[in-house]
Amino acid sequence: MSEPPLRVAVVGAGPAGLYTADALTFDEEPAVEVDLLERLPVPFGLLRYGVAPDHLNIKAAGNTLQGVLEREPVELFCHVGVGTDVTVAELRERYDAVVYAVGASVDRTLGIPGEQLPGSSSATQFVNWYNGHPEQVVREVLDATTVAVIGIGNVALDVARLLLKDPDDLLHTDIPQPAIEVLRASAVTDVHIVGRRGPEHAKFTPKELKELGELPGVDVVVDPTEIPADPEDAKPPTKRNLAVLREWAARRSTGAPRRLHLHFGATPLEVLGEAHVTGLRLSTGDLPCQLVLRSVGYRSLPLPDVPFDDETGTIPSEGSRVVRDGRAEPGEYVVGWVRRGATGILGTNRSDAMDAVASLHEDLPALLARRTRAPEGIEGLLAARGVEHVSLQGWAAIVEREHAHGAEHGRSRVKIADLADLLEAAGVNP
């Protein structure tokens, strides 16, 4: 009599989790069944809530990953919290293996005075808002005229672009309609991107950088003295970035109604203001502004009963195996940002997932040898507790509702941002 299929729980249905499910079920041998557990009511994680809405080429990866969700051996359990609705111990008891792919959901702070003032926030919260995250911070009005964005990575560029772009140029995207209306009413005329290091150390990609300089109605302001010659060891992307910045520095003002300013070698020292942000003190001088958005990286949060390194913000691992009580043993694995830190691009998660699945395949004899009974999954456990989850069918109903919502506004699709509305569309009680 043949063994029942290997049963694996993947905690997190973002890109890392979905690539893991893909690698586990791509071949028929060994036979694997995957349950994807996701805290949010929808899958795709940062692909849905972190990628800018106008970057459709990146978001198109969701079409491929949707195909993974629709594979017969894959079951989707959204709106299920690990540590609340089900424990890690229960997962380890019910599955042959557990893979943690929870990503990095919170931002890093600067640790400077005034950082908690009203008007000082994180780029993460702002990105969540314009991407319709159900746990978004509501922004009733964007009445700042000058915004400082701290950080020189792609997220900082996304934030600056969305603040300066004509909102009508976003109507072909799935950005929530309330965000469109707020951006239309925005008073922002100037956005300052502030980097603590020189442009040769910037983390943005040349394509994203160049895109900013092509926005209609926007002048770009760069101090030519801040742009160095190409370092001897500079890689091609760095050289292209520096070339773009030199071209911008040579431009003359056109008198455009909006402006993008880039500052390098300017360390933030203090957020100024009493009841609200009035400026940002830099090592190079004070910058008047009414909104400060820090974009200095993401950080993972620990899962209950899973080892976690507070210093690195990761689950400790060896060969993608979780290190528990000083040992890396078969049965628990980790992928994505919670394994390596918030670095890399979307495709990095694919190679990460393949590494973890390779380790799991190596461990297959040990995983099967320790079985005392056939794995059963958590569907019955959730039902017994009255926990309703969003299934693949529920997710399909949300997508259908978003297309209908888009049609109401003359658009192809509009994201649903409200948690209760998402659950209602999926047929799940809040």
Decide: helix, strand or coil at residue 294: strand
- The class level of CATH for 107-296 reads alpha beta
pLDDT in tens, 167-202: 999 999 999 999 999 999 999 999 999 999 999 999
Q: Is residue 332's pLDDT more than 50?
A: yes
CA-based nearest residue to 129, from 185, 53, 189, 187 = 53
CA angle 149, 144, 121 (to 5 degrees): 45
Q: Is residue 137's pLDDT more than 80?
A: no
Instruction: Tell me what the pLDDT averaged over the chain comes to.
Output: 93
pLDDT in tens, 252-287: 999 999 999 999 999 999 999 999 999 999 999 999
Give the 3-state DSSP-derived string for 110-169, with helices as H, strands as E and coil as C. Answer: CCCCCCCCCCEEEHHHHHHHHCCCCCCCCCCCCCCCEEEEECCCHHHHHHHHHHHCCHHH
Residue recorded with tokens 């799935």: 174
Distance CA 366, CA 331 (A): 9
Pairing of strands 146-150, 190-194: parallel
- Average pLDDT in the 43-67 region? 89
Proportion of the chain above pLDDT 90, given as a percent: 84
Whether the domain at 6-105+300-389 and the domain at 107-296 fall into the same CATH topology: no
Q: Is residue 141's pLDDT more than 50?
A: yes
Q: Is residue 138's pLDDT more than 60?
A: no
- Average pLDDT in the 234-245 region? 95
pLDDT at 1: 44
* Cβ–Cβ under 8 Å, residues 184 and 226: no
CA separation, residue 1 to residues 365, 367, 382 (Å): 17, 18, 30
The CATH topology of domain 6-105+300-389 is: Rossmann fold (3.40.50)
* Cβ–Cβ under 8 Å, residues 178 and 168: no
pLDDT at 2: 65
* Cβ–Cβ under 8 Å, residues 307 and 324: yes
Crossing angle of helices 15-25 and 61-69, rounded to 10°:
50
Run of H or E residues at 90? helix 88-94
- Average pLDDT in the 307-336 region? 95
Run of H or E residues at 33? strand 32-38
Q: Is residue 103's pLDDT more than 80?
A: yes
Domain coordinates of the chain in residue numbers? 6-105+300-389, 107-296
- Per-residue burial over 152-187, b if 16 or more Cβ lie within 10 Å, else e, is bbbbbbbbbbbbbbebeebbebbbbbbbbebbeebe
